Amino acid sequence: MKIWEVAQEWHVPLYHGTSLVEFERLKANGYNARDIYLGDNMENITDHYAEQKAEEHDSYPVTLIVDGSKLENVQPDYDEFGQIQLGQWVYTGPLRQALKGAILFDEEGEEQRLPL
């Protein structure tokens, strides 16, 4: 069984780190995602990608919580050497049904749940 099949079968939550600006764009686009990165480790996604995107957009970091069992056509993420990155995937398609939550991290590092 492939790792992704295990994640789907066990309903492993996946995470996508982004900025509040990009989250609002995703909402305005009907939650149709294009080449978003998903990871099975919230701290890694939040501490790195969400923070970078927030800085880039002069915004707040946001972490999306996704039910991987509701996604189809998820692709593995490859590093610069063509090796599969364990615990990381790329997804394009409708995200709304799989989206379970969105958490914003404010200046003090406090979590705020965002309406979907």
Q: How far apart are CA 59 and CA 53, in angstroms?
A: 8
Closest by Cα among 94, 18, 95 to 51: 18
User: Residue 97's pLDDT is what?
Assistant: 93
Residuewise pLDDT in 10s, the chain (116 residues):
455 565 556 567 889 999 999 999 999 999 999 999 998 888 766 668 899 999 999 999 999 999 888 888 888 888 889 888 877 889 999 999 999 999 998 888 889 999 99
User: Residue 109's pLDDT is what?
Assistant: 80
Dihedral angle over CA of 101, 106, 110, 116, nearest 10: -20
Q: What is the CATH number of domain 3-109?
A: 3.20.170.30
Phi/psi for 12 (5° steps) reads: -70, 125
Give the up-direction half-sphere exposure of residue 23: CA atoms within 13 A in the CB hemisphere. Answer: 25
